[in-house]
Structure 1
């Protein structure tokens, strides 16, 4: 006969309940709580203090376009209320998904888009100007291109286990040699060929000290950046400035307009009326994504970054693979440095203005994948472009505050808003 159960004694456990809890894991409320806080903050910041009669003006075509869409005078208060309802609905859906242990990443994408629309409508409702979306998107691509190539360089290097802090120096070196080669030959395409050579040379210095001599990779990267900065500044002051017509007058890259695609409203001119560097970026993201995650070469490279000892056991030359990845990634960054001069601008001191470090942040936010790095770099480029556009048409938001947004987004990402961000296991660890 079974003894009676004492008061306070746990009841019978359903068979398999412990196993299901172990498999499913604990419920994480971090993302839905964050969305709730942002929704409430957006409600108070944007909706409650916007006059009911305020209008926000948006243009969807450029003034010189062959056909024109009328400027949209958006009723700001109504649009903000609708977007706020959408953010709260997505927050509720995120809570439900978290309770069911089935997170939906697309919630974050739609939520971010709604918050962005709210911000734009709020800003333009306080401005007398018109926000031309095609111009904003075109400027976004201009600012995003060096970030994208720099982030690709970081992905290639760190997937092989080498931390690439020297992206800034690789971008700067590529821009410098591109300016000289294009100026001397009079051909911008010769400059495009020279730029990745400069990036590869900078990467070779990084590889020798970090792989062969096993110097701390972060320290080497910082030193390489300082070395390239000092060298280019010295040569700029002594060579380029004394004879700018011969050494620092690169011709602009021509734009290639793709028929039909360039006529797509809003997006067409920004995406398909660009230079060869932008089109190379489109190709690079697909090639790198496939090569890293769908090819034997990519499997070998990633194995070196995750478990080099196991890779060595099956016959993969770890350090040789790392050398190749660092030099190739650095060449990619050098090619991106040529984009600073694509419009025919002359090389100047510190033309990269710290964009190598932002590219490094884009790589982290993009989870060490080419597609993610592209999305993060475009986000950072959009923030920079929006900051400059709003400053010209008058904005209630300070310029310094807008400049902080990319870094705040990275902090949220690393803190776990978009899930756990984990680098390759052997990243930064020399071998053997």
Structure 2
């Protein structure tokens, strides 16, 4: 018994509780106790199109910061208790802590000013959509044992092909159909080299990213930039408001007054979650990713499953790339994905290879990215240089400190060679 207890103690990871405690102390002291007294943070909760209009919500900055800081420290204390008992910190606790910390920071940074909460959340969701598609792509691949570093290239390929096809056909719907094809093409190359010929998955992913960046940059310089009317005028999808649901205060304009790509994202998340954890296909995929030898013994064609999953992931990432062109900007620009594929990988890890967790992680990154723009507009005293690097700092802290003791699929990154 003594040996077993010692082994359990040695496997405990105190990284998450320590990180939560440090951040909780920062929230209490900086965002609460040191906040300027007498200031109020004002949040607009209604938009001009809402059926029911609400007055802006004015909150005492210092009091709210103190209360949220105490809540953060309470969650950190709970995480210490869980780890001391040999249990891991659940993902919902990390998500709750992240929400409380962000709210404390938001209340502190908006002190003496006013922002629109629906507009802030709408912008956060818009920036999160490609991350969610990219994280789902990586999740589908890694659950079957293939590490997909080429998400960046698949997003960029989807953005490029959707913009070109939509421009040539003058139909955004044609561009939307073409986007998954670009992701499939990149995914096919990834699957051929990694699954069929057992080439190192990391190296192939990096090479494919460089290849797609080079090809799209070359085509942009030779075709799209000199002839934008013909090659680079795809247009954008218009928002489609869902009756009744779109009129719900705050939530309605954010979730139910969106483009068709966002609604496709909702369906994709739900379908992948059910398929992975409630279907025979998902059971086979997880078996292949955890123990391919046992799956092979059970009659599952391991490499065929991996090949198909890489293709599925590529199609999903291609849809995410279409959002850059057909959902946000209305045109393609050189390297417009700007490293979002790698942030999507971080969201997948933070979400613990779970579609729901990946969605919340991507929303966190999107929120922080949009927040730095909003705070810059209202003239926050925070230095602009810090706000520009804030999304990447949050990514590092989240992955390094908040993930805790997690384990990827056991066979992830390992080629399966049948003997």
Same fold (TM over 0.5): yes
Alignment check: 8 A CA contact 1:173 1:334 kept:
yes
What is the match of residue 346 of structure 2? 361
Q: Give 1:70-149 correspondences, 5 Å limit.
A: 70-101=55-86, 105=90, 106-125=92-111, 129-149=113-133
Deviates more, 1:61-70 or 1:211-220: 61-70
Alignment check: 8 A CA contact 1:76 1:121 kept:
yes
What is the match of residue 14 of structure 1? none
**Deviations along 1:3-46, whole A, 9 cap, x unmatched?**
xxxxxxxxxxxxxx649847975665444333322222222222
Q: Give 1:184-195 correspondences, 5 Å limit.
A: 184-195=168-179
What is the match of residue 152 of structure 1? 136
**Deviations along 1:275-318, whole A, 9 cap, x unmatched?**
11111111111110111121111121222222222222222222
What is the match of residue 375 of structure 2? 390
What is the match of residue 32 of structure 1? 17
What is the match of residue 32 of structure 2? 47
Q: Quick one: distance in 2 between partners of 1:276 and 1:56?
A: 34
Alignment check: 8 A CA contact 1:174 1:336 kept:
yes
Instruction: Give 3-state SS (helix, strand or coil) of 2:402's partner.
Output: coil
* Cα gap change, 1:207 to 1:95, in 2 (>3 Å): closer
Tell me the CA shift for residue 150 of structure 1: 0.6
What is the match of residue 386 of structure 2? 401
Alignment check: 8 A CA contact 1:140 1:384 kept:
yes
Alignment check: 8 A CA contact 1:414 1:420 kept:
no
Q: Give 1:165-244 correspondences, 5 Å limit.
A: 165-244=149-228
RMSD: 2.2
Tell me the number of residue pairs that the alignment of Structure 1 and Structure 2 aligns: 414
Tell me the CA shift for residue 194 of structure 1: 0.2
2:42 to 57, 63, 67: 57
Q: Quick one: distance in 2 between partners of 1:149 and 1:290?
A: 16
Instruction: Give 3-state SS (helix, strand or coil) of 1:219's partner.
Output: helix
Alignment check: 8 A CA contact 1:60 1:71 kept:
yes
Q: Quick one: distance in 2 between partners of 1:422 and 1:164?
A: 17
Structure 2: gaps (5+ residues) = none
Q: Structure 1 length as normaliser, TM-score?
A: 0.89
* Cα gap change, 1:162 to 1:399, in 2 (>3 Å): farther
* Cα gap change, 1:19 to 1:215, in 2 (>3 Å): closer
- Structure 1 segments of 4 or more deviating over 6 A? none
What is the match of residue 285 of structure 1? 269
Alignment check: 8 A CA contact 1:210 1:430 kept:
yes
* Cα gap change, 1:34 to 1:238, in 2 (>3 Å): closer
2:265 equivalent to 1:302: no
Larger Rg: 1
Tell me the CA shift for residue 260 of structure 1: 1.1
Q: Structure 2 length as normaliser, TM-score?
A: 0.92
Tell me the CA shift for residue 116 of structure 1: 1.6
Tell me the CA shift for residue 102 of structure 1: 5.2
Alignment check: 8 A CA contact 2:28 2:70 kept:
no
2:230 to 246, 255, 258: 246
Structure 1: gaps (5+ residues) = 1-16
* Cα gap change, 1:90 to 1:356, in 2 (>3 Å): closer
